[in-house]
Amino acid sequence: MIQIEGISKAFGGLQAVDSVTFTVAAGGITGLIGPNGAGKTTLFSILAGFLPADQGRVLLDGEDITGLPPHSLFHRGLVRTFQIPHEFSRMTVRENLMIVPPGQAGESLAYSWLRWGKVKAQDRVIRQKVDDVLDFLKLTHVADELAGNLSGGQKKLLELGRTMMIDAKVVLLDEPGAGVNRTLLNSIRDAIRRLNTERGYTFCLIEHDMDLIADLCDPVVVMAQGQVIAEGPMDVIRADPQVQDAYLGGGVSGRGVSAMTEDDIGRARPDSTVDTDADESGDEEWRP
Amino acid sequence: MEMDGLLTYGVFFLTQAGIYAVLALGLNVQYGLTGQINIGIAGFFAVGAYTSAIVTTHPSTAHLGGFNLPFPVGVVAAMATSALVAAAIGRITMRLRSDYLAIATIGIAEIIRLALKNEDWLTNGVRGIPGIPRPFSETLGANPLISLGVVLGFVAFAFWMVERARSAPWGRVLRAIRENEDGVSAAGKDVAHFRLQAFVFGASLMGMAGALYAHFIGFISPEAFLPLYGTFLVWVMLIAGGAGNNWGALVGALAIWVLWSATQFMTDALGAEYATQAGALRVLLIGVLLQVILIARPQGLLPERGARKH
The DSSP line for chain A is -EEEEEEEEEETTEEEEEEEEEEE-TT-EEEEE-STTSSHHHHHHHHTTSS--SEEEEEETTEE-TT--HHHHHHTTEEE--SS----TTSBHHHHHHT-SS--GGGSHHHHHH-HHHHHHHHHHHHHHHHHHHHHTT-GGGTTSBGGGS-HHHHHHHHHHHHHTS--SEEEEE-TTTT--HHHHHHHHHHHHHHHHHS--EEEEE-S-HHHHHHH-BSEEEEETTEEEEEE-HHHHHH-HHHHHHHHHTT--SS-GGGGSHHHHHT---GGGTT---TT-GGGGG--
Give the whole-angstrom CA distance, residue A32 versus residue A4.
13
Q: How far apart are CA A109 and CA B190, in angstroms?
A: 15
Whether B106 is in a domain gets the answer: yes
Looking at residue B274, its pLDDT comes to 81
Measuring CA to CA, which residue among B210, B32, B208, B224 is closest to residue B128?
B224
Averaged confidence pLDDT in chain A: 85
Is the residue at B246 inside a domain? no
Amino acid at A212: L
Interface test with A, best of B161, B172, B181 (most A CBs within 10 A): B172
Q: What is the pLDDT of residue A170?
A: 95
User: How far apart, in whole angstroms, are the C-alpha atoms of residue B128 and residue B133?
Assistant: 15
Cβ(A227)–Cβ(A21) below 8 Å: no
Chain B residue numbers touching A125 (CB-CB < 8 A): none
Q: ipTM exceeding 0.85?
A: yes
Question: For the segment B221-246, what is each residue's pLDDT rounded down to a tens digit?
Answer: 999 998 888 899 999 999 999 999 99
At how many degrees (to 10) do helices B144-167 and B3-27 cross?
30
Q: CA A36, CA A22: separation in Å to the nearest integer?
A: 20
Contacts of A106 in chain B (CB under 8 A): 168-170
Domain residues for the domain of B29 are 13-225
Q: What are phi and psi of A209, to 5 degrees?
A: -80, 105
Average pLDDT over residues B191-208: 96
For B307, nearest residue in chain A (alpha carbons): A90
A71: chain B residues, CB-CB within 8 Å? 185, 188-191
Res A264 pLDDT > 80: no
Ordered by start, the domain boundaries in chain A are 2-86+167-286, 88-149
**Is B285 within a domain?**
no
When CB atoms are compared, the residue of A74, A99, A162 closest to B172 is: A99
Residue A250 pLDDT more than 60?
no
Whether the Cβ atoms of residue A222 and residue A34 lie closer than 8 Å to each other: yes
Average pLDDT over residues A273-286: 39
CB contacts, 8 Å: A100 with chain B = 187-188
Strands A29-33 and A202-206: parallel
**CB atoms A74 and B187 under 8 Å:** yes
- Which residues in chain A touch residue B175, judged by CB atoms under 8 angstroms apart? 88, 90-91, 95
Mean pLDDT to the nearest integer, A76-95: 94
Query: Spelled out in words, what is the top-level CATH class assigned to the domain A2-86+167-286?
Result: alpha beta
Binary contact (B186, A104; C-beta < 8 A): no
In a domain, residue B134? The reply is yes
Give A80's contacts in chain B (Cβ within 8 Å): 186
- Is A109 in CB contact (< 8 Å) with chain B? yes
CB < 8 Å to B189, chain A: 71, 99, 107
In chain B, the percentage of residues whose pLDDT exceeds 70 is 97
Q: Is the pLDDT of residue B45 over 90?
A: yes
Q: Which of A69, A109, A162 sits opposite B170 (nearest CB)?
A: A109
pLDDT at B306: 62
Q: How confident is the model at residue A279 (pLDDT cuts 50, 70, 90)?
A: very low
Q: Which residues 123-162 of A are in CB contact (within 8 Å) with B?
A: 123, 146, 148-149, 162
**Average pLDDT estimate for B47-70:** 92
**Residue B187 with chain A: CB contacts under 8 Å:** 74, 99-100, 162
- Is residue B270 assigned to a domain? no
Q: What predicted TM-score, i.e. pTM, was given to this entire model?
A: 0.88
pLDDT tens for each residue of A196-226: 998 899 999 999 988 899 999 989 999 999 9
Any bridge partners for residue A80, and if so which?
Answer: A172
Confidence of residue B82 (pLDDT cuts 50, 70, 90): very high
- Structural domain includes residue B291: no
Q: At what angle do helices A152-164 and A182-198 cross, to 10 degrees?
A: 10
CB B77 within 8 A of CB B55: yes
A104 touches chain B (CB under 8 A): yes
Q: A71 in contact with B at a CB cutoff of 8 Å?
A: yes
- Given pLDDT bands bounded at 50, 70 and 90, which one contains residue A55? very high
Residue B303 included in any domain: no
B290 close to B236: Cβ distance less than 8 angstroms: yes
Q: Quick check: B306 and A104 CB within 8 A?
A: no
Asked if residue B24 is part of any domain, the answer here is yes
CB contact under 8 A, B175 and A91: yes
Report the gap between the CA of A47 and the closest CA in chain B (Å).
12
Pairing of strands A2-11, A55-60: antiparallel
Q: How many Cα atoms within 13 Å fall on the side-chain side of residue A49? A: 27
Number of domains in chain B: 1
